[in-house]
Chain A
Amino acid sequence: MNISAYLDRFGLLGLGLVAFAAVLLALYGLAELASRRDRNRAVAFVFLAPAVLFLLIGLVYPAIRTVVMSFYDSKTENFVGLDNYIWAVTDPDALQILVNTAMWIVIVPLVSTALGLVYAVLIDGRAGEKVYKALVFLPMGISFVGASIIWKFVYQYNGAGGEQIGLLNQIMVWLGGDPVNWLNAQPWNNLLLMVVLVWIEVGFATVVLSAALKGVPLEIVEAARIDGANPREIFWNVTVPSIRSAIIVVAVTVFIATLKLFDIVRAMTQGHHGTDVLAHNMVEQAFRLFERGRGATLAVLLFLLVVPVVIYQVRNMRRQEMETR
């Protein structure tokens, strides 16, 4: 490593920031000019131009282009109709990917939300609630890649008979069992990968649901208690219905994150041993196998799966807003 490599990078950073400051100044000047003539349209144009330009070039056009590409072959030269889509739902490898993705998007949101809810209820009002919350929330600040590395060491397999350095296999040995090469063990390895995402998302679920719990009127809880309800009945008949919409928001947010998951699969198994999912294989197809048509098709499928859920999410959030008002 030499100093010039550092200077190159920081030089670029400095240049970039100066250029950006100049852009902002220019925008400000233009907005001032337009304001003096009291022309709202022109002022609005100046304020909106950068964001709209970025979005048009970087998101709107590419999304349309991706849809078009999904009907073309690997080099986007020949129109192939629905061939890529047919591949996605008939090819055994592609089917495996869809099945895995389906498992992920059912299991991860369900387990994360349930665990987050139980934990939030358990620690609600407990001494040291903040510490409890912070411990579980911490993984939210760790990257998916970092979390994958953490868990890869937990799952590590050192051969039967050898000293185990992975915690999970050491526990197996302590319990008198044999160590297992977890990440190669199909189909269970999928579940072990899901554990990593659940581990990250439970913190998110806990924080949001715990905030929602603070809004449940204690009078109702106490009244139920006086009527002889046990904690489980209170949980199901009072707590859950009162924070229903927050629960849905959490589940849907985790669902969307799960659907777009790339990092954990990449860092844990690279999609081998039957663990590939949609968002990861999309990148494999497009950038490693140079099957751009197929990659684009998988991206479109991803989009089609997200849309209804986001629409539902927006509606639910609006309802929640009305409730809290």
Chain B
Amino acid sequence: MSTRTAEQAAAQSAARIGETRGERLRRILSSRVASVVAILIAALWTIPTAGLFISSLRPDDDIRTSGWWNFFADPGSVSLYNYNYVLYSDSQGGGLIINLINTVVITIPGVVVPVAFAALAAYALSWIKFRGRNVLYVGIFALQVVPLQMALIPLLSIFSSGLHIGGLTLIPAWDLEGVNTLIQVWIAHSIFGLPLAVFLLHNFMRELPSDVMEAARIDGASHSQIFRKVVLPLVTPAIASIAIFQFLWVWNDFLVGRTFAPGEATRPLTAVLGDMAGTWGFGWTRLPAAAFIAIIVPLVVFLLLQRFFVRGLLAGSVKG
């Protein structure tokens, strides 16, 4: 024990005054090999995406006959033609604008609904005293373990034929068709996003100072007033990070959209892309542009709001 303190003291004295953590680390551990490896990894992680982007700008024939790296030797004709084609063309592999709209229409409620419901639930679980609160919290917490695959078949059958127990009809069949099947996707995403959102928001709300709550209670504020005027403003950053999580999850989702809105005209963009890529059929040269349209929105959101996202990540997640 005493030798260790001595060592630490020695180390302390070795630290230079005014040195940043980074400078200190570099002095201790710098090596040229490390630089090379770091740059190599960074390159490996960037080149494939850059290649796809370059491909998306090249004409059909070029994509078919030469690799994207030839672009640097002979740029050929660069254009946004492919983007125009995949979004608006009536021919095969085109007209994806409608699927892009599906994605937007799915994503907005798919984020707003679960986050709002989770915020309400998390408030009750952290600040309203009632019997059975802990049991309920543990129950919701435990639901994170259930993979959504466990719910797919029965949930789909609830939508198509209702929920009956014995002869009693609890939920009638919905019989949704066409565009309206998007409602099923909203509900499915809301359900699957809830356990994690409740868990994370509960973690944040529980940490709020209890004297603030008590003061508000003594002033005669009701729970709904405290929720709206005191708690919501304080947990806005937490809500932002959870909303980003859910946004990325819903926008990028393939399985839920494909299962609950299976029609050609109602599938979200990712589902169309996933199946196009899987079959690698006729329109594969359009894939780079189509994929980039799907990628760019979450990427921009992600880059702009990375701070919140990272905070959410570090708060710990075991999404179900």
Residues of chain A at the chain B interface (Cβ within 8 Å): 1, 5-6, 8-10, 12-13, 16-17, 20, 24, 27-28, 31-32, 35-36, 40-41, 43-44, 47-48, 50-52, 54-55, 57-63, 65-66, 69, 115, 118-119, 122-127, 129, 132, 134-146, 148-154, 163-167, 170, 199, 202-204, 207-208, 211, 214, 218-223, 225-227, 231, 234, 249, 252-253, 256, 259-260, 262-263, 266-270, 279, 282-283, 286-287, 292, 295-296, 298-300, 302-303, 306-307, 310, 313-314, 317
Contact = CB atoms under 8 A, between A and B. Distances in A.
A42 to B, nearest CB: 9
B75 interface: no
Contacts of A141: 248, 295, 298-299, 301-303
A117 to B, nearest CB: 12
Given A150-B291, A166-B67, A263 B274 contact: yes
Given A55-B195, A154-B48, A41 B25 contact: no
B69 interface: yes
B154 A65 contact: yes
A54 B194 contact: yes
Nearest to B106: A13
B79 interface: no
Interface in B94-149: 95, 97-98, 101-102, 104-105, 108-109, 112-113, 116-118, 120-121, 123-125, 128-131, 133, 136, 140, 143-149
B251 interface: yes
B213 interface: no
Contacts of B150: 59, 62-63, 66, 299-300, 302-303
Given A43-B124, A146-B291, A299 B147 contact: yes
Given A32-B222, A47-B120, A220-B8, 4 more contacts: A44-B128, A142-B298, A143-B294, A279-B149
Nearest to A271: B278
19 contacts: A10-B105, A55-B194, A58-B151, A61-B154, A62-B154, A119-B41, A135-B45, A138-B303, A141-B301, A144-B254, A150-B52, A150-B291, A167-B48, A167-B51, A167-B68, A214-B21, A263-B254, A268-B277, A310-B318
A129 B153 contact: no
Interface residues of B, dominant DSSP: helix
Contacts of B318: 252-253, 256, 310, 313-314
A57 B224 contact: no
Interface of B: 7-8, 10-12, 14-15, 21-26, 28-29, 31, 34-35, 37-38, 41-42, 45-49, 51-52, 55, 63-69, 88, 90, 95, 97-98, 101-102, 104-105, 108-109, 112-113, 116-118, 120-121, 123-125, 128-131, 133, 136, 140, 143-155, 158, 163, 171, 178-180, 182-183, 186-188, 190-192, 194-195, 198, 222-225, 227-228, 248, 251-255, 259, 265, 270, 273-275, 277-280, 287-288, 291, 294-295, 298-299, 301-303, 306, 310, 313-314, 316-319
A85 B252 CA distance: 32
A266 B66 CA distance: 27
A35 B152 CA distance: 38
A283 B255 contact: yes
Contacts of A263: 254-255, 274
A13 B188 CA distance: 16
Contacts of A69: 153-154
Contact of B42 (A31, A52, A135, A296): A135
Nearest to A235: B29
A63 B147 CA distance: 9
Contact of A226 (B7, B47, B123, B274): B7
A127 B22 contact: yes
Contacts of B45: 135-136, 138-139, 199, 202-203
Most buried by A among B24, B41, B68, B299: B41
A133 to B, nearest CB: 9
Nearest to B311: A211
A219 B154 contact: no
Contacts of A283: 149, 152, 255, 259
Given A44-B128, A47-B121, A142-B295, A296 B153 contact: yes
B47 to A, nearest CB: 8
Contact of B153 (A154, A268, A286): A286
A315 B1 CA distance: 30
